[in-house]
Structures are given as structure tokens and as C-alpha cells.
């Protein structure tokens, strides 16, 4: 039998770190990364035939669970007609319509292939539409790996403890101003000093790449207000939250505050149903700055690929209210049990949660976690032993304390039961770290 270890050795020789995306490496938790060879519903199977309850969900897309019959069937039907033609295709408008029905502020949509491309293009669009240069981002928010957005980024950049990335020029970095999340006075100060030159503030609707960090009451609305006052755009990155977090009517996180909308949204993950699709969207007069109607260039050989569109359409068509209710309820059960197990084992922590997205931050109960500085100050060394105990007991968690846990519609009572059974031993492992 080919073991995970064998596969890792081969992969490490061929690919940096043995992976094609750093978040998949077990850099911060240690050990040999697991090679998965199949997924069904709430479960993954590795190369050695071990089965795991999956709490990564392909990092977000698997809202309905793995291999959902309707999604697989739609993909098969699309494949049978060809893999893509480099032309317009009816499925593009169909997916765009499904997005706009649920997010009315997404008046026009441009499909792209990854979340990185969506945010990168959104930034270029904001600069092109306003004629201004500076972008403001929050420390610990991750918006993909385009040059200007890597400063003090979350996700793998946080896991590896990097300040940013080598290969990004000082000139590129200088046009991104980074401030702490949830800090209104920092935002006011930035606008007081640079207001005339700020093209956009980009924020995760609810940050979930430094662990989950909820926006304080009114923080998103404050970003809306101050950007409007200074003629800057607000870019709401819903790559992670879009069509997953359901507060207050919208099917993204944007509906958490009534009565306002961002200028530009970015989506990804769920809207591709597991295949490479993402999008930027927003008001018509802004979106029409994009080529070919406007001067801001964006293009993509695979943008709007019909097979990816089919997966996205089938996913959104099947993501009804019952799906969200199920995921919300089960997430609450797992989050409560996680917190209880840690408390029983005497592990100081805060449970960070918005809607169905949650994570744990160790040793932070005194301060809470409201920003990146507080997230980084946690006792992250407790996560490795916790993670490996869960893995040994057949539960696959994100291999970093800075990532959120993802449930799906396929997480039934049996799958949830396996997670709950595993938690006490893992909490003990965290206590002894």
C-alpha cells in the first residue's frame, strides 16, 4: 500500500513543501500531511483507506458536502457537451442571475477563476473607477495572494508567521496601508491623512483568516460611512462568507447590517461548487468600468468555464433555507461541545463564531480576540496536539489555528457524533501542550 508518508516524500521532491498551496502543509501542526483520495458527504478517505469526518470542506466550497448527487450530475451533463469553448455560454448568465437574486447589490457580475483574481481585479477596478491609488486593508484579513494584498495577511501568511511576502516591491507595498481590524480611530486617522488618495477599503465581511474575528457592532457600517464621505469605494470580500453565512436575509455576510451596501463584492468558494470559479460584482456604473465597456482591463481564458458554472449553479440551486438552517444548528452544536470540552480540560480559550463559521483561540479569555495582534498573541502551540488527537480519532480539521472550521449540509448526526466523541481527548492533549 502506498502510504501518506510515501506520497509526501514523492511530493516534496517535486513540489515546494510537497504542496500546491501552503495551507495544506502541516507546517504549524507538524507531522506528515494526509493525501486524500476521495470524499463523500461529510467524509474524506485518505490514500491508506482511513476515513475522516471532514471539517475543512475543501476550504469552503463543499457547502452541500462532497459529491452531492445534483452537483455531480450537473457536472457530468456539462462535461458531455465539452469542456469549454472560449465563447459566451448560457450558464454564465444563469449563475450570475442566481447570485443577483440573493445579493441585489451585485447588479453586474464578472466571473473569474479564483478568489485571488476576484480581489486583485476589484482593487484595479476601484483604482480605475476613482482615479486614486491607495488601498486600505486590515491586518489579519486575507484577500488572496496578489502583490499589494499580502501585507500583514491572514491564512497561510499568518500560519507561517510572515510579515508579508518576499518578491513584493516596496512600491507595491507602499500603496497598501494596513491597520488593525475593529479600530475605528485608526481608520479615521488614515482618512484624515490620506483621504484624497484612498481608492478603496477592502475588508472581509467577517474576518475568518486569522481565526474568526467578528466585526464589532456597526464596524462594517462605519467603513461604509467613512468611505462614502471621502469618495472611496468599499470592497466587501465575501469569498469565504458569501452564500455560507446567512444572517438577516442576504445569503452572504453583507446582510448583517441593514440599509447599506458595499460598492464591490467578491465571491468564490461556494459559488464554484468545488470547481475553480469566483466573481467580482457590484453597482452597474462601477462594474461597467471593466473591459470591454470600460478601460479597466481584466480577461481570463477559463473565466465562466461551463463545467465550473454547472457546479456553481447546482450548488446554489440546492442551497435552500433548510441547508443553511442545518449547517447553522450543527455548527452551534459542535462549537458548544468544543468550548465545553476545553473548559472541562482546563484550557483557557475563546470560541470565536459568526453564523456557521467558528474557530478557537487558546489562552485569550482575558483580552478576547478583536484583531490580528490579539489573535497572534494566543497560545497557538496548543493547536498541534489538539489537531493530531482529532486526526488520530478520524476528524480532519484545518491544519492551522488561524483557519475556520467548515460544516456542510451532509454533516448528519452520525458525523457530528464522531466529532463530539473525539473532542474530550483532544482537549486534554491541548491542556498538556
Active site annotation includes 237: yes
Nearest to ligand PMP by Cβ — which residue? 115
The secondary structure of residue 289, as a DSSP letter, is T
- Angstrom CA distances, 421 to 350, 387, 389, 390, 426, stand at 21, 14, 12, 10, 10
The angle formed by the CA atoms of residues 390, 391 and 394, to the nearest 5 degrees, is 90
Among 28, 35, 58, 116, which residue sits at the site for ligand PMP (rule: CB under 6 A)?
A: 116
**Pick 109 or 422: Cβ nearer ligand PMP:** 109
**Pick 65 or 242: Cβ nearer ligand PMP:** 242
Single out the catalytic residue among 269, 353, 372, 396. 269
Among 237, 247, 263, 374, which residue sits at the site for ligand PMP (rule: CB under 6 A)?
A: 237
Of residues 270-299, which lie at the interface with ligand PMP (CB under 6 A)? 278
Q: Does 262 interact with ligand PMP (rule: CB under 6 A)?
A: no
At 137, give phi and psi (nearest 5°): -130, 165
- Angstrom CA distances, 164 to 71, 121, 144, stand at 37, 20, 12
- Identify any residues that bridge with 54 across adjacent strands, giving them in sequence order: 396
Residue 225 CB, nearest approach to ligand PMP (Å): 22
Residue 62 CB, nearest approach to ligand PMP (Å): 14
Q: Does 203 interact with ligand PMP (rule: CB under 6 A)?
A: no
Of residues 351-370, which lie at the interface with ligand PMP (CB under 6 A)? none
Among 155, 350, 378, 408, which residue sits at the site for ligand PMP (rule: CB under 6 A)?
A: 155
Residue 187: which of 210, 203, 172 has the closest Cα? 203
Residue 407 CB, nearest approach to ligand PMP (Å): 16
Among 26, 43, 142, 191, which residue sits at the site for ligand PMP (rule: CB under 6 A)?
A: 142
**Pick 128 or 144: Cβ nearer ligand PMP:** 144
Among 35, 114, 305, 331, which residue sits at the site for ligand PMP (rule: CB under 6 A)?
A: 114
Among 28, 119, 350, 380, which residue sits at the site for ligand PMP (rule: CB under 6 A)?
A: 119
Q: How many residues bind ligand PMP (CB under 6 A)?
A: 16
Among 57, 115, 128, 252, which residue sits at the site for ligand PMP (rule: CB under 6 A)?
A: 115
Ramachandran class of 332: left when φ > 0, alpha when ψ lies in -120 to 50, beta otherwise: alpha
**Pick 191 or 243: Cβ nearer ligand PMP:** 243
User: How would DSSP label each residue in 109-126?
Assistant: EEEESSHHHHHHHHHHHH
Q: Does 128 interact with ligand PMP (rule: CB under 6 A)?
A: no
User: How would DSSP label each residue in 123-167?
Assistant: HHHHHHHH---EEEEETT----S-GGG-TT--THHHHTT-SS-TT
Single out the catalytic residue among 8, 43, 142, 372. 142
Residue 414 CB, nearest approach to ligand PMP (Å): 29
Residue 366 CB, nearest approach to ligand PMP (Å): 28
Residue 205: which of 169, 158, 179, 243 has the closest Cα? 243
Record the cell numbers describing residue 293, joined without a space.
Answer: 465597456
Among 47, 213, 234, 239, which residue sits at the site for ligand PMP (rule: CB under 6 A)?
A: 239
Residue 230 CB, nearest approach to ligand PMP (Å): 24
Query: CA-CA distance, 321 to 154, in Å (whole number)?
Result: 30
Active site annotation includes 372: no
List of long-range contacts for 290-293, beta carbons under 8 Å, 24+ apart: 290/110, 290/121, 290/125
What angle, rounded to 10 degrees, do the helices at 306-318 and 90-102 form?
A: 30
Single out the catalytic residue among 46, 54, 237, 263. 237
- Angstrom CA distances, 318 to 93, 183, 219, 307, stand at 18, 38, 32, 17
Q: Does 209 interact with ligand PMP (rule: CB under 6 A)?
A: yes
Q: Pairing mode, if any, of strands 51-54 and 43-46?
A: antiparallel
Query: CA-CA distance, 69 to 203, in Å (whole number)?
Result: 35
Name every residue whose Cβ is closer than 8 Å to that of residue 406 and which is 6 or more positions away in sequence: 55, 56, 57, 59, 60, 62, 244, 357
Residue 392 CB, nearest approach to ligand PMP (Å): 27
For the chain, the first-to-last Cα distance in angstroms comes to 33
* Binding window for ligand PMP (CB under 6 A); candidates: 192-200, 232-240, 313-321, 342-350: 232-240
Catalytic machinery residues? 142, 237, 269
- Applying CB under 6 A, the residues found at the interface with ligand PMP are 59, 114-116, 119, 142-144, 155, 204, 209, 237, 239-240, 268, 278
Amino acid at each position: 500500500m502506498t502510504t501518506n508518508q510515501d506520497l509526501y516524500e514523492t511530493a516534496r521532491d517535486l513540489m515546494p513543501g510537497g504542496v500546491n498551496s501552503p495551507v495544506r502543509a502541516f507546517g504549524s501542526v507538524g507531522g506528515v500531511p494526509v493525501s486524500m483520495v476521495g470524499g463523500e458527504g461529510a467524509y474524506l478517505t485518505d490514500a491508506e483507506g482511513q476515513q475522516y469526518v471532514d471539517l475543512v470542506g475543501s476550504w469552503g466550497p463543499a457547502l452541500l458536502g462532497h459529491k452531492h448527487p445534483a452537483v455531480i450530475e450537473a457536472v457530468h451533463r456539462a462535461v458531455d457537451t465539452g469542456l469549454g469553448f472560449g465563447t459566451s455560454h448560457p450558464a454564465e448568465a444563469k449563475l450570475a442571475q442566481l447570485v443577483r437574486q440573493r445579493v441585489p447589490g451585485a447588479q453586474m457580475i464578472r466571473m473569474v477563476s479564483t478568489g485571488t483574481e476576484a480581489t486583485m481585479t476589484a482593487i484595479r477596478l476601484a483604482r480605475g473607477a476613482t482615479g486614486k491609488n491607495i488601498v486600505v486593508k486590515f491586518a489579519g484579513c486575507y484577500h488572496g495572494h496578489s502583490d499589494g494584498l499580502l501585507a500583514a495577511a491572514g491564512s497561510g501568511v499568518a500560519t507561517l508567521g510572515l510579515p508579508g511576502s518576499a518578491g513584493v516591491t516596496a512600491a507595491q507595498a507602499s500603496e497598501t496601508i494596513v491597520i488593525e481590524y475593529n479600530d475605528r480611530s485608526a481608520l479615521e486617522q488614515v482618512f484624515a491623512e490620506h483621504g484624497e488618495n484612498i481608492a478603496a477599503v477592502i475588508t472581509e465581511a467577517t474576518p475568518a483568516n486569522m481565526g474568526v474575528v467578528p466585526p464589532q457592532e456597526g464596524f462594517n457600517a462605519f467603513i461604509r460611512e467613512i468611505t462614502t464621505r471621502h469618495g472611496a469605494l468599499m470592497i466587501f470580500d465575501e469569498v469565504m462568507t458569501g452564500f455560507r453565512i446567512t444572517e438577516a436575509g442576504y445569503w452572504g455576510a453583507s446582510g448583517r447590517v441593514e440599509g447599506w451596501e458595499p460598492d464591490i463584492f467578491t465571491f468564490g468558494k461556494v459559488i464554484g461548487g468545488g470547481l475553480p470559479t469566483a466573481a467580482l460584482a457590484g453597482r452597474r456604473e462601477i462594474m461597467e468600468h471593466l473591459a470591454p465597456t470600460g478601460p479597466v482591463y481584466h480577461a481570463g481564458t477559463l473565466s465562466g468555464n461551463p463545467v465550473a458554472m454547472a457546479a456553481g449553479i447546482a450548488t446554489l440551486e440546492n442551497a435552500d433555507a433548510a441547508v443553511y438552517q442545518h449547517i447553522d444548528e450543527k455548527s452551534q452544536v459542535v462549537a458548544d461541545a468544543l468550548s465545553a470540552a476545553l473548559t472541562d480540560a482546563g484550557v483557557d480559550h475563546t470560541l470565536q463564531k459568526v453564523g456557521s463559521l467558528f474557530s478557537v483561540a487558546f489562552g485569550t479569555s482575558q483580552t478576547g480576540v478583536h484583531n490580528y495582534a490579539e489573535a497572534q498573541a494566543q497560545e497557538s502551540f496548543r493547536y498541534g496536539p489538539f489537531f493530531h488527537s482529532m486526526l488520530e480519532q478520524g476528524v480532519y480539521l484545518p491544519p492551522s489555528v488561524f483557519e475556520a472550521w467548515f460544516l456542510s449540509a451532509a454533516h448528519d448526526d452520525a458525523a457530528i457524533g464522531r466529532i463530539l466523541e473525539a473532542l474530550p481527548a483532544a482537549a486534554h492533549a491541548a491542556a498538556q501542550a
